[in-house]
A and B are shown apart, each in its own frame.
Chain A
């Protein structure tokens, strides 16, 4: 069974640009969450999508947005990039059925803003 797939693995962008990251969850999983990981802040929750609807959002500016498609694949977008957006962006998928709440992570996308 394939795991969570994130593309691309690495990105280098310039300040002011925008970027789109992609996440394909484990087959059958309907919940996709996004996290930002930095050395100073650790893993911070960005947002969560379930059945194409955002059902939770973290404390990040509106420059960070996302969406989920009917096949559960998800994308996140960051507009007007700032140097502080450099981080490892992680996607997690969950089956979201009954008591099963485990989240499985992808390998992440390493974004560097220069």
Chain B
């Protein structure tokens, strides 16, 4: 069964304190791995798509990497506005579908 596990569940950082969020996945055939940011009461905001092991993508203070079993979201020198829930999702091969399987997210709090 396709599955996504995110850790830690919650993370509290001081402003400027870099860290990484983990997303471990089990999928029959990985079509894509997605990172989203979600603010309270809002829909998930797309951040990155990764398609193959070794791929990396960056956006401002965020960098996402992918291996055959997991993905990391590295946050460099975070600011309070980076506080949000970060969601990881996978899309598997097997039929024509855009179905995403989500992890339960990491709640990040960045304190000034």
Which positions in A face B, CB cutoff 8 Å?
Answer: 4, 6, 31, 33, 35, 42-45, 48, 50, 55-56, 58, 90, 92, 94, 96, 99, 101-108, 110
Contacts and interface: CB of A to CB of B under 8 A. Distances in A.
Contacts of A101: 31-32, 49, 91, 98
Contacts of B97: 48, 55-56
B45 interface: yes
22 contacts: A6-B43, A31-B98, A42-B103, A42-B104, A43-B87, A43-B100, A44-B102, A45-B99, A45-B101, A48-B98, A56-B97, A56-B99, A58-B99, A92-B98, A101-B32, A101-B91, A104-B46, A105-B43, A105-B45, A107-B42, A108-B42, A110-B41
A96 to B, nearest CB: 6
A50 B95 CA distance: 13
Nearest to B44: A105
B99 A48 contact: yes
B41 to A, nearest CB: 8
A94 B34 CA distance: 13
A50 B103 contact: no
Nearest to B91: A101
> 8 shortest A-B CB distances, which residue pairs?
A105-B43, A43-B102, A56-B97, A42-B104, A94-B98, A105-B44, A107-B43, A108-B43
Contacts of A106: 43
B34 A103 contact: yes
Contacts of B49: 101-102
Nearest to B105: A42
A39 to B, nearest CB: 10
Interface in B82-112: 87, 89, 91, 95-105
